[in-house]
Structure 1
Amino acid sequence: MVFVIRVLHADDDRAFLELVKHFLEGSGDLVVDSAISGDVAESMLDMHTYDAIVSDYTMPGCNGIELLRYVRSKDHRIPFLFFSDQNNEEVVIAALTGGGDFFLPKGFQLRSQCIQLERAIRESVMRRRAEQEQVKVSSLLRIRQAALQSSLCPIALCDAEGRIQYANPAGLAIWGYTDEKEVIGKYATDFIVSPETSPDAIGELFRERIWAGQATARRKDGSTFDARVYVSTLADDSGHPLGFVASFTDLSRQKDARARLESYVEDIRFVSEKANEMTDIPLGIDIFGFIADALTVLAPPGSIIIISSMHADATVRLEAARGDDASLKRIEQVIGRPLMGLTFHSNTDGFGATLPGSVIEVDGGIDTITFGQLP
């Protein structure tokens, strides 16, 4: 790809401007705009963008040094080259210490001098473009580094031997580490306990370029967890592998959620079956005991199940109680009477007001179940 270099040349000698333009543009990738004075050059700089500026030292009005100061007030890095018939040491020192990049004295061998000037222009422009590219790359690297650091996804970068060179905070946390020095230099396979994962897998990874699957990972404290792993290789421009990047997802929560969901499905299926069974219960059967037994299956271990009935006179009667004998006896000791057959009027605060709040406390379990009035 050919990059065009736009050059602004300021000189008060019109014929000299034309000759220099002719020689420089002969290379094919230099485009030269000519300014007959420093003042004209300033106006052109306000209207156009240039890659380099070439200026005479002595010009009427705005001379080369003044033009240099004007340029540097707007751009500290654009190459500024002097091509002047002033070649004494004081002039050269003033030009270069004032911010100039190159000083070429005029002479009688204009063609060879233009070759020197062209080379100086190219070198200074390429140097500035390289600096700009370096700044761009540095900014991009900082952005990528910030993205890796702030990512909630655990990520690790490894060299071609499989040794960890970087792990982001999320990656350290998933393994139970706080300092990356504890993992840098270790093999990624040291954190995997799946028997099918071994150092030999690194070579296969470089051949396949990408891998995704599940593995059993080991934390710092020795505990394990199931993880989904995505791995892809990093290569240079020639395709030679430099290492690989791996990202991880802890499947523990997903598996717990799946287990809870399956449990809920089973509970719903159980309730549905019991509801169907209730339609077939003959008259005279203890319906309240049936409900209490069903709830005992659903409730967390250690729960106390109490079923009551509401009567037409707003009287509430305890019909069934399920739980371990020690807990039921403790409740009876608190209220001073047997649970079965206990009655109270519903305009009070209910059964909960009869007992101290600390007696029945099922942390994380079923706290209150409300049924519609049974006919």
Structure 2
Amino acid sequence: MISVLFVDDEPVLVDIGRLFLKRAGDFSVTGVLSGQEAVRLLQENTYDVIISDYQMPGMNGIELLRFVRKQCGDIPFILFTGRGDEAIAGDAVNTGVDFYVQKGGDPKLQFADIAHKIETAVERRRALQAIKASEQRFHDIINFLPDATFAINTEGIIIAWNREIERITGTRAEDMIGRGAYSHAVPFYGSRRPMIIDLLLRPDPGVEASYPSLHRENSIITADGVLYIAGRKHFFLARASFLYDQHGKIAGAIESLRDITPQKESEEKLIRIIQHLPVGLQLFRIEADGRLVCHGGNPAAEEMTGMSGRCAPGKVIEEVFPDDEGRKICIICRKIAMEGGRDSIDNVPLSADGCVKHYNIRMFQTDPGEVAVLYI
């Protein structure tokens, strides 16, 4: 039900209006005889729409409209007046009236028209409120994301800049929202330049080449890289995807940047440790074609086995372990890479450069689809 406040200093017209509107639609009508009384009710109650006469003693319709716009916001307001003065109509429009209706004619037809205008104004306001609520939820969600996140519209204007990105860049949202021309890149690169969010909206092979790790999958771009913020080196994993409006059309894009500096530093430290291990280590990973392929090893693996050529990254495991004993290792490694776990084979003979050496082999999963082989 739509609640209506009907303001007119003519009691008969208020009664007629209440009667016709109740018959015309699902309306609850409260009638008052002055602008002052309307103000008192508006301070105590809320209404979906206000209909007001213009010429009333004490407070006219325009003055009531000014009060409503200042104190009550965007409540739909219909000015219902017997005067056809263009100046009044212009003043009403400038003050924010929704509809201007001149009195006269068949009351039934006139109030049917007013009922239609009420429904139109209320539906329009509710739609705008729904959009604002949706936008507010969007900004609230963005703000509480743990990753640094920002969004732009299709023109490249920043429409969201969350708290985490404020924290890591020291740049406030109020200084960023509304800016364009690649302003979002300045806190990261010190200059205006495309980021992966821009490449999502406007692909550019030349710029994409500057992101060696860039990967496109459907409507999502991911990339990782190094950025210097406040003089400190950071590793970020960036991910950008489209934003859509209520009609399913692309409305912009959103990018999140996850600071993976601790993980990268740990990985680099682990790599340095592995490189200096006194035992041999190789990593094998299952590729898309199903092959189990070497992705690297430490110097000790080559020194201990003498298999430098066979240990090279890109070699399938069957080339590294080609003999009968090696086939057993290949089967076990593939099973561990796919299913997890660990296994071992002791006193394995490995032939390299005409010499046979014996090693204890230890195999374990390091990641889904990946297995490590240790030579002890």
TM-score range normalised by the length of the shorter chain: 0.3 to 0.5
Where is the strand percentage greater, Structure 1 or Structure 2?
2
Of structures 1 and 2, the larger Rg is shown by 1
- TM-score under structure 1 length normalisation: 0.45
- TM-score under structure 2 length normalisation: 0.45
